[in-house]
Structure 1
Amino acid sequence: MGAHTAIAPVVSKIFCSSSQAVLMVRRRPPTVNGGGLVVTDRNQTAAFRVDGCGTIGASGQLIVRDGDGSAILFIHKKVKVWSPATASSRLTDETLVSQGGVVQALSVNNWWRGYLTDYGEPSKLVFSLQDPKPVLCTNTKGDVRVTVEPSGRTKRHWDYEVTGSFAQRSCAIKNRAGQLVAQIGGKGMMAGRDLYQVVVQPGYDQAFVVGIIAILDNTHGESTSC
């Protein structure tokens, strides 16, 4: 029995493999079915598809589909506003309200929430991801942190992180113990802008990994964005 058997799936165990999975991610141009991503396995069989703004018709929304085209994840962007006036935070849609011409916020961060789907509709929240780049502070740097829901299970308040550069197709998803979950591009791997390789380690949820990649693609203004 290998160590991977103890890894809990985020989306579903049917997207977990006992062996290393090699996926190819291809960006669709906006003129082809509204853009988005197509993910194939080592046999060049469609494994996942990501629909973004060009297909859905709304910004800040993503749908991850399995190889058969069924929706398995609905991902929605929210904005978290921290106000010094109230010393509290709140989640809103993508609109900031100003008071007297001054935006009453010290920091504004994008949060993405991933939901399982039931008959094509969002049902259960399974993960949250915080974009480290605040809306009002473009020079802030940091790793992307992902929390598997329900949260609050660990003192560190996050379960996975993305390190490296997605824009350069050289980044990694790691768990909170620092163990590699998935490698996106990198040395010795195909890592072009429009076609790149992703290697998912045994036992980890490939649909969850594709969901994270979909968010990274969108936040970098690529094929799933408007």
Structure 2
Amino acid sequence: MDNSIPVVSKIFCSGTPTMLMIRRRPIVVNGGGFVVTDLSHNVVFVVDGCGILGSKGELMVKDGEGEPILSISKKGGIVQALSTRNKWNGYLMDYQGKDKLVFSLTDPKSCIAQSAPIRIHIEPKMHCKNWDFEIGGSFADRDCTIVDCTRKIVAQMGRKELMGGKDFYHVEVQSGYDQAFIIGVMAILDNIHGESTRC
């Protein structure tokens, strides 16, 4: 029985928990993004930030072959400027280069809303009523968890103590969950916290 939960694609779902290693690009590549490898050091995903893409609030997740699979953009406009939350949209890139909305993430942008959780909505809607995934913990401390609406852990982030610093950390994605989607969420968190994807 297949119990995978694809957001980007079923090909990014594994039948077993998967450890992904994330390494920020060198500081000389301003807003360059990061590289994601498996435990055998094979490149699985590459995330490009605004230093490569040329515009703020734009991120791109590519597969190990360098093919774009997920385009992420921060929503703008007057309605967004008046809102107490920032909204990010993730779009699936198909072979014709067309975009299809697959998820949106909202995060607090003011002190008033700071205690509000970061929530993710999947398109089309999953079985949940108000939100599909929620992020808890601290990205800055490399100690954060993504749970689904039933509070089941989907992915957990941690620091590789032996490697030192915040340039190298890992994310364990539970079986059946979409790894490309989780890396897209990591890219947004990286940008929100002004790290490797932001100029």
TM-score by length of 2: 0.90
1:213 equivalent among 176, 186, 190: 186
- SS at the partner of 2:91? strand
Correspondence for 2:72? 75
2:90 equivalent among 114, 117, 133: 114
Matches within 5 A, 1:1-20: 1=1, 5-20=2-17
Render the CA deviation track for 1:169-212: whole Å, top value 9, x for unaligned.
00001111111111100698978410001111111100000000
Unaligned runs of 5+ in 2: none
More displaced 10-residue stretch of structure 1: 179-188 or 164-173: 179-188
CA distance in 2, matches of 1:187, 1:80: 39
Higher relative contact order (CA 8 A, sep 6+): 2
Q: What fraction of aligned residue pairs are identical, expressed as a percent?
A: 53
| Counterpart amino acid of residue 27 in structure 1 | R
Matches within 5 A, 1:15-30: 15-30=12-27
Render the CA deviation track for 1:36-91: whole Å, top value 9, x for unaligned.
1100001100000000110001000000000000000000101476xxxxxxxx45
For the aligned residues, what is the CA RMSD?
Answer: 2.4
2:33 equivalent among 18, 23, 36: 36
Correspondence for 1:86? none
Whether 2:94 is the aligned partner of 1:158: answer no
Whether 2:172 is the aligned partner of 1:196: answer no
Unaligned runs of 5+ in 1: 82-89, 97-104
Residues matched between the structures, number: 199
Q: CA deviation at 1:121?
A: 3.2
Render the CA deviation track for 1:8-54: whole Å, top value 9, x for unaligned.
20000111110110110001124248521100001100000000110
More displaced 10-residue stretch of structure 1: 197-206 or 178-187: 178-187
- SS at the partner of 1:121? coil
* Contact 1:191 1:197 (C-alpha < 8 Å) held by counterparts: no
CA distance in 2, matches of 1:120, 1:71: 11
CA distance in 1, matches of 2:96, 2:30: 19
* Contact 1:7 1:204 (C-alpha < 8 Å) held by counterparts: yes
Indicate how the Cα distance of structure 1 residues 175 and 58 shifts in structure 2: closer, same or farther if over 3 A, else same.
Answer: same
Indicate how the Cα distance of structure 1 residues 52 and 122 shifts in structure 2: closer, same or farther if over 3 A, else same.
Answer: farther
- SS at the partner of 2:187? helix
* Contact 2:4 2:175 (C-alpha < 8 Å) held by counterparts: no
CA distance in 2, matches of 1:132, 1:62: 19
- SS at the partner of 1:224? coil
Correspondence for 1:128? 104
| Counterpart amino acid of residue 143 in structure 1 | P
CA distance in 1, matches of 2:100, 2:184: 15
CA distance in 1, matches of 2:60, 2:43: 16
TM-score by length of 1: 0.80
Q: Which has the larger radius of gyration?
A: 1
Indicate how the Cα distance of structure 1 residues 188 and 160 shifts in structure 2: closer, same or farther if over 3 A, else same.
Answer: farther
Indicate how the Cα distance of structure 1 residues 203 and 30 shifts in structure 2: closer, same or farther if over 3 A, else same.
Answer: same
